[in-house]
Amino acid sequence: MSEQKPLVEMKSVKMSYRLSSGTSVSVLEDFNLTLHPGEIVALLGASGAGKSTTLKLMSGLLRSEAGEIYSNGQKLEGLNRELSIVFQESSLFPWLTVAENIEFGLFPQGYSLRTRRQRVSEAIDLVGLEGFEEAYPRELSGGMKQRVAIARALAMNPKVLGMDEPFSALDVLTADTLRGEVLEIWQRKTSKLKGILFITHDIVEAVSMANRIIVLGAPPKNVKADILNPLAFPRDENSWQFNQLVRKIHSVLSDSILGDDDNSNAQNQAALWVLPPVPIADVIGLTELLVDYKGQLDIFELPRLIEKDFSEALTAVKAAELIGFVDTPYQKVILTRLGQGIAHGDVNQRKEAINTQLKSLRIVKMVIELLQNQEEVALPYSKMIEWLQEKQPAVNAQSALDTLIDWGRYGGLFRYNSDEEMLSLEEDHPTVL
């Protein structure tokens, strides 16, 4: 197997995207990834880590700014005919029936009517959609729609199937069934299909399906980890090996998001600049949750308890850590004394505590300074964005400012009028209400 040419190969690829404000944010830098025949690769990572970008680059929907992409040893120019994508949200056309939707991708290839019909019926057979050929997407449940989307991609007879969070919009049971079905199709090996690459937020999903798991993160080093999964199918989610692998990926992911202790200095410097995009109410909710668990939680337990995916849960933890409500030694979340006070306090005590904590953050200090040294009482939102961009060009200024306003309003530091889009300092102390 390994003697064969790689299905897709990305060599020192560089990619960045432009924000609406005009600044560009780098997503991939000197990025290398190879997909070999026989592999099911899962791409994991926080949102914005470049997972979808990677898939789009491989399919030829996006062109890289630098570096090369090869498909079957040939340099990719234009679309990748060997790779077929199942998109995140059901992108079925509502005006076409199931059969017509599946047939959709075959037209540009110039196939004859007979070939098209045959391919459609094969694909329908493969995903078990018999009897639904004439149905319109709106008549189908979410799981059925996603089956159509998979059938549409398979009808192209691709060597590689790319899936962008294929099961994230489905309920737990349906997602589980579909995962099983995809693996079944894979193991049948009747088609040309040689490799699968899928994006997911769900670590358990990655471990249960993939035989190689790649954790992506922010540049400069995009690939945080590249882990082989040797477990044999069918995989038992309760087995010791399975859980060990899940733990391992958890810790890689949390390191890449929270930052481990070695390089915390540099990371914290950046953290002082960017508040994690988490509503302050979630941070307070986290302290209350921790009280219920005696002030201490395993970080991997958290996503299930707050019904969020792992990277979202970690972002909330990071936010709570930033204003000193929790500590995160060795994959644990521990409530600090301050955090306990928050959890038990009433609204005004909370506001006061958050007020003091916020004032110790560097970015908040700078904003206060900026607003105080201003002749006008208030500054427009757009000015604030400009200012933030000037100070820290690499961050998404809008999301940073929105979080800042959310936290600052709660802490009684800032006033923000969304009609006039003006930010100003709160004159009085926060305890009035």
Q: Which residues contact 287 (CB under 8 A, 6 or more apart)?
A: 320, 325, 326, 335, 339, 340, 342, 343
Q: Considering the rule CB under 8 A, would residue 136 count as an interface residue with another protein?
A: yes
In the complex, the smallest distance separating the C-beta of residue 87 from another protein, rounded to whole angstroms, is 5
In the complex, the smallest distance separating the C-beta of residue 419 from another protein, rounded to whole angstroms, is 6
Which tokens sit at 144?
A: 């059925």
Binding residue (CB under 8 A) for another protein from 88, 121, 268, 399: 88
In the complex, the smallest distance separating the C-beta of residue 122 from another protein, rounded to whole angstroms, is 17
In the complex, the smallest distance separating the C-beta of residue 100 from another protein, rounded to whole angstroms, is 10
CB distance 138 to 94 below 8 Å: yes
CB distance 145 to 90 below 8 Å: yes
C-alpha 402, offset from chain centre: 20
Whose tokens are 């798991």? That residue is 213
What distance in Å separates the CA atoms of residue 303 and residue 310, rounded to the nearest whole number? 5
In the complex, the smallest distance separating the C-beta of residue 432 from another protein, rounded to whole angstroms, is 26
What distance in Å separates the CA atoms of residue 259 and residue 275, rounded to the nearest whole number? 15
Q: Considering the rule CB under 8 A, would residue 105 count as an interface residue with another protein?
A: yes
Segment near another protein (CB under 8 A); pick from 68-76, 87-95, 290-298, 319-327? 87-95
Cβ closest to another protein, residue 139 vs residue 376:
139
Whose tokens are 């189908």? That residue is 140
Binding residue (CB under 8 A) for another protein from 112, 190, 265, 373: 112
Q: Considering the rule CB under 8 A, would residue 104 count as an interface residue with another protein?
A: yes
Cβ closest to another protein, residue 52 vs residue 357:
52
Segment near another protein (CB under 8 A); pick from 105-113, 171-179, 206-214, 271-279? 105-113
Q: Considering the rule CB under 8 A, would residue 22 count as an interface residue with another protein?
A: no
In the complex, the smallest distance separating the C-beta of residue 81 from another protein, rounded to whole angstroms, is 8
Segment near another protein (CB under 8 A); pick from 16-24, 82-90, 121-129, 230-238? 82-90
C-alpha 380, offset from chain centre: 31
What distance in Å separates the CA atoms of residue 102 and residue 120, rounded to the nearest whole number? 6
How many residues comprise the chain? 433
Segment near another protein (CB under 8 A); pick from 106-114, 229-237, 327-335, 368-376? 106-114
CB distance 345 to 293 below 8 Å: no
Comparing C-alpha atoms, which of 394, 403, 421, 252 is closest to residue 323?
403
Binding residue (CB under 8 A) for another protein from 28, 45, 46, 59: 59
Q: Considering the rule CB under 8 A, would residue 377 count as an interface residue with another protein?
A: no
Contact characters 395-424, another protein, x per CB under 8 A? -----------------------xx-----
Comparing C-alpha atoms, which of 155, 410, 369 is closest to residue 279?
410
Is the dihedral angle over the CA atoms 114, 115, 120, 126 positive or is it negative? positive
Q: In the range 251-270, which residues lie near another protein by CB under 8 A?
A: none
CB distance 160 to 110 below 8 Å: no
Q: Considering the rule CB under 8 A, would residue 173 count as an interface residue with another protein?
A: no
Q: Considering the rule CB under 8 A, would residue 240 count as an interface residue with another protein?
A: no
**Runs of H (alpha helix) within 18-129:** 51-59, 98-103, 113-127
Residues within the interface to another protein (CB under 8 A): 56, 59, 61, 78-79, 81, 84-85, 87-89, 91, 93-95, 104-105, 107-113, 134, 136, 138, 156, 418-419
